[in-house]
Amino acid sequence: MINFFIKKIGIDLGTANTLVYVPGKGILLNEPSVVAVALPENKVLAVGNEAKVMIGRTPETIVAYRPMKDGVIADYRVTEAMLRYFISKTVGRWNLMRPEVLVSVPAGVTSTERRSVVEAAIKAGAKSAYVVKEPVLAAIGAGIPIHEPRGHMVVDIGGGTTDAAVISLGGIVSSISVKVAGNKIDQAISDYIKKQFNLAVGDSTAEQIKISIGSATPIEEELVMTIKGRDFLTGLPRSIDIRTNEIVKAIDGELRDIVKAIKQVLHNTPPELASDIIENGIVMTGGGSLLRNLNLLVSRSTGVPTTVAKDALYCVAKGTGIALEHLEAYKKSIVAKR
C-alpha cells in the first residue's frame, strides 16, 4: 500500500531493535538495529531483519553489526543509513512529503549525542527532527499522566541501557542511565555456561535461555531447557540441560546493578515526590522488564510496589506516537532541532 500522507513518524531507536510508530496506524515496523556492510567498498548491503540473519555467518569481506552501542550512536554513517532505510520503508517511495520525525534517546545522553541523532534523522530524509528522553516516552506510552504535579517513577530496561527516572510536571526530576540491560544479561548467561559446563553458546541462544527459563528470583518448580553448543575441550558439538535457578545465579550481578541504579534515583528524589512514588509504585517498561519475577525483586529490594506496564515492549514506541500527535503539550520534554 502506498502511504501518500504519512506526515509524522516516531522512532524508538534501540540498541537491539528499532520500532517505527505512525500516529493513527500504530507500530508499522519492528526490526533489529543491525546493518551489514561490505568492507572493500564500505557499502551498506542490508538493514534490519535481513542483516540480523547474517550475524556470525558472513565471509571476511562482509561485517554485520549494531551501529548503536548502549543506546547511543557508535557509528554515525551507518546509523544514518539505517534510519534512511526505516524511514523510506515506512513512508514508501512515493510519499509526497518529508515527514516530521521524533526519536527516542536514553536519559543519560550528552548534548553532542543528541545533536548527532537529530542530524542523522534530517540527513536520512526528515523535514524536522525531535529527540525525547526514553523514560518520558516510556511513561507516556504506559499511560502515566506525566503532567500532574505528582511523582511517577519509570524504569525502562532495553537492550543496551536501563533508564530509571522520576517524572513530575512533564519533566525528569531525577534520573540515571546505566549500561546494564538485556545484552549484558545475555552475556552473563553465556559466561556462566562457559565457566560451569565448558560450553560455548552464541548470543541468540543466551537470549533464548533468558526468555524461556530465566527468572530474577529462585523458583520452586524449575523450568528446564536443553541447549546445544560447542565443547571448549573437544571442539565438538554437545548438548546439556540447564535449569532456572542456575540462570538466577548467573545473572545475579547484573540485576544487582539495575536495582542499585533504581535505589540511587529514589535516594535523589525530593521527599514529597518520594511519598507519591510509594503510593503510585514503580512502573517497568522495555523488553528487559519481561524477565520472570523482576518486578518482585525490585519491590522486595526497594520496598516500593512494582508493576510491569501493559505492552512493555512497545511503550517507548507508543510514547513517540502520542508525543508527536500532541507536540504542543509535550514541548517541555522535547528537544527540537530543525
**pLDDT on residue 168:** 92
All residues at 6 or more sequence positions from 128 whose CB lies less than 8 Å from its CB, including other chains: 100, 101, 122, 336, 337, 338
15 is annotated as contributing to ligand binding: yes
210 is annotated as contributing to ligand binding: yes
61 is annotated as contributing to ligand binding: no
**pLDDT on residue 274:** 92
Residues of the chain with pLDDT under 70: 1-4, 71, 93-96, 330-338
DSSP for 259-306, please give it.
HHHHHHHHHTS-HHHHHHHHHH-EEEESGGGGSBTHHHHHHHHHSS-E
Partnered with residue 100 across adjacent β-strands are: 8, 128
289 is annotated as contributing to ligand binding: yes
Element (H, E) at 21: strand 17-22
125 is annotated as contributing to ligand binding: no
Element (H, E) at 36: strand 35-38
**pLDDT on residue 203:** 84
90 is annotated as contributing to ligand binding: no
State whether residue 56 is helix, strand or coil: coil
**pLDDT on residue 213:** 96
Cβ atoms within 10 Å, residue 303:
9
All residues at 6 or more sequence positions from 294 whose CB lies less than 8 Å from its CB, including other chains: 157, 216, 255, 284, 288, 308
290 is annotated as contributing to ligand binding: yes
**pLDDT on residue 71:** 67
- For 84-170, strand residue ranges (E) read 100-105, 128-133, 152-157, 162-168
End-to-end CA distance of the chain: give it in Å, rounded.
29
141 is annotated as contributing to ligand binding: no
Domains in the chain, start-ordered, CATH in brackets? 8-34+69-136+316-337 (3.30.420.40), 149-180+255-312 (3.30.420.40), 182-252 (3.90.640.10)
> How far apart are alpha carbons 10 and 20 in whole angstroms?
6
> How far apart are alpha carbons 152 and 147 in whole angstroms?
10
288 is annotated as contributing to ligand binding: yes
205 is annotated as contributing to ligand binding: no
309 is annotated as contributing to ligand binding: no
Q: Would you give the distance in Å from CA 325 to the centre of its chain? A: 22
**pLDDT on residue 332:** 61
208 is annotated as contributing to ligand binding: yes
112 is annotated as contributing to ligand binding: no
pTM, whole model, 2 decimals? 0.87
**pLDDT on residue 218:** 95
